[in-house]
Structure 1
Amino acid sequence: MMRIHFTAEDLARTQVADGADPLWETVLSLHSLQERCPDPVLAGRRTAALTRPLSMLLPLVPPRGYFPDFLTPGAGTAGLDAGLDAVLSTPRARLRTELTRLTGRNRPAPWTRSLADGEPGSLRRLAGSLREYHNTALGPQWARITRRTATDRALRLHALWQGGAEAMLRTYGPSMRWQSPVLEVDYPVDRDLHLDGRGLLLVPSYFCKGPVALADQDLPPVLVYAASADGKQGVPEPPASLNPCLAKLIGHTRAAVLEALSSDCTTTELAQRAGVALSTASEHATVLRSAGLVSSVRQRNVVRHALTPLGTALLRSN
């Protein structure tokens, strides 16, 4: 178990990442790719096109256990390019320390040794392999990956806005349990992480199976967790018929809008699913949000809506 210790300052500085981190998804998908039954998103991805990048990346990311922190820099939350720039800027001393920890007493491969020496060409090959693998293996499904993480983020932010950081931290069970002032996390090794006023960045992930933190406790604290699978099958068909009890409770049109949110969507998609005008969908989403049943997050020039835990419970109870 890992115990993450919070102060009042840590709670104030705790936040949820904007969405999927491309480098965390890359590394965690490499874990999945090495399993007997990888995630369906990766089905058939071990093709000849990936032979070169995988030959470089798999020695750095074993199926289980430690992998170097420099593969998942904090800059990755700003996008793949920013993350790869940070990888390229990794200090030589850190490369050597983390790769020595990875290989232990085993004799490292020549590729790993040159990387540990900080050779610029090796760093460029690493960045190129990360980019090639990400674009080839994850690129075709990136919309699906980001859709799931966006849905999860909306749910967490709703709890944060309504009840503060402690309320949000209570939404992560059962693998993460808030026992103020400590977050208990199911973890393969026993450790304590003291935030010491730095706060915690929570990163929703499509490929994460269980909570993952950086090994180096001196780095800015990050906890990656498995994003909620709600809506992972994509956009559903509009409901064939409304639940009569729900329709009586909140009205037919509003019930149609609520049921159409079985997975997250934009206001335009919501109107299409519910069979109503765009202005009507927006109006009912606003009312449902005020009632705590829906959360809405602006992403660039669109607004995405998702059911809150309370909204999901209402749908399931009728």
Structure 2
Amino acid sequence: MPLTLHLGADDLTRCRFAISPLCQTHEALRMLRRPARHGYHHAWLRRMGRTLKGLDLSPLWLFVPRPGGYTPDFLGPPPDEPYPTIDDELARMRATEPGLARAEMARSLSCTPGLAQSPQGRAALDDPAGTVRRLADLTELAWHALLAPDWPRHRAVLEADIAHRSRRAADVGLDALLTGLHPTVDWAGHTLTLHRYEDQAEAQRPDGRGILLMPSVFVWPDVVSGFARPWQPTVIYPARGMGRLHTAPVPRPPQALARLLGHQRAALLAGLTTPASTTELARRHTLARSTVSAHLTALREAGLLDARRQGYYVLYGRTALGDALTSGN
């Protein structure tokens, strides 16, 4: 039976996006529990196999059950702001109320027969505050091992997804935004329906606080929802362009240009054979949009780029000086 979320007028007017490093970390951990289903990330999975050999994440695996189980929501709660830092999110996780943490851990352990009565399960439930601290410390280790080195590229994909969907909502309307989240998501009669999703009586229902939409690199092929109270109702969906994240070649600018400008700025300048927007360049070069914006500003101030507005976008192109520098003349 599909999961249905009935959205009232207040929910629709409070519909928002966010990018959560903490949620991405736990989605990555969940994907490692089912690697056979994630062909888009074979290269990443092979690389992470070597990385994980030096990490003992067994207390975390206790609460990341196989598909069909429940992972405690406090491990990756919906963020309160659009672009939180990992440090802010870890601090929020460490501040989880022990009673809430225990209830969510007990629900997670119950998905595996006998696990709550095991020595590890009993120890976790007997000291929920201490367990939260240990899980937060392990999550921080997992973040640095699994995501931090590639985070600018991941964030660029997530920002590009949000920019695309925001433009689509502005151009066509909220209906097009919601129906375009995923092929298994339908929107009709104020009801968002998530097919291929088991209905859960305990799932959080929209109540006027709005619904949070979060793109994810690792959630494919699923769409995730159903956060329990007190968390805001959330839909986590696969980000556009994630399939190219680990396969797109890294641009190689001329060595002399890279020595002069730095590799990233040189790659941006050399790759601007035709004008492009900040969002497109972030996707193409797998960099954070903020990083690309800073580089473009520096190149423009140096007289190597100019900018012009076209509709909703600002397009950047090389000047004659930029062309001459790129060609070596």
TM-score by length of 2: 0.70
2:47 matched residue in structure 1: 44
Provide structure 1 residue ranges, at least 5 long, that are not aligned to the other structure. 239-253, 297-302, 305-318
Inter-CA distance 102–207: structure 2 relative to 1 (3 Å threshold): same
1:135 matched residue in structure 2: 144
Q: Distance in 2 between matches of 1:28 and 1:12?
A: 28
Inter-CA distance 193–48: structure 2 relative to 1 (3 Å threshold): closer
Count of residues in Structure 1 that have an aligned counterpart in Structure 2: 269
Inter-CA distance 83–107: structure 2 relative to 1 (3 Å threshold): same
Q: 1:189 aligns with which of 181, 198, 201?
A: 198
Inter-CA distance 164–100: structure 2 relative to 1 (3 Å threshold): same
Checking the alignment, whether the CA contact within 8 Å between 2:224 and 2:236 is kept in structure 1 is: yes
RMSD (Å) for aligned C-alpha atoms: 3.4
How far 1:51 sits from its partner (Å)? 4.8
Checking the alignment, whether the CA contact within 8 Å between 1:74 and 1:83 is kept in structure 2 is: no
Q: Distance in 1 between matches of 2:182 and 2:166?
A: 16
Residues 255-274 of structure 1: pairs in structure 2 closer than 5 A:
256-257=274-275, 261=280, 263=283, 266=292
1:16 aligns with 2:22: no
1:116 matched residue in structure 2: 125
How far 1:97 sits from its partner (Å)? 1.4
Q: In percent, how many aligned pairs have the same letter?
A: 25
How far 1:135 sits from its partner (Å)? 0.3
Checking the alignment, whether the CA contact within 8 Å between 1:99 and 1:116 is kept in structure 2 is: yes
Q: 1:78 aligns with which of 84, 87, 105?
A: 84
Checking the alignment, whether the CA contact within 8 Å between 2:78 and 2:231 is kept in structure 1 is: no
Inter-CA distance 193–182: structure 2 relative to 1 (3 Å threshold): farther
Q: 1:89 aligns with which of 91, 95, 101?
A: 95
2:105 matched residue in structure 1: 99
Greater mean alpha carbon deviation, residues 224-233 or residues 46-55: 46-55
Q: Distance in 2 between matches of 1:133 and 1:110?
A: 24
TM-score by length of 1: 0.72
| SS of residue paired to 1:46 | helix
| SS of residue paired to 1:43 | helix
2:231 matched residue in structure 1: 219
How far 1:48 sits from its partner (Å)? 6.6
How far 1:269 sits from its partner (Å)? 6.3
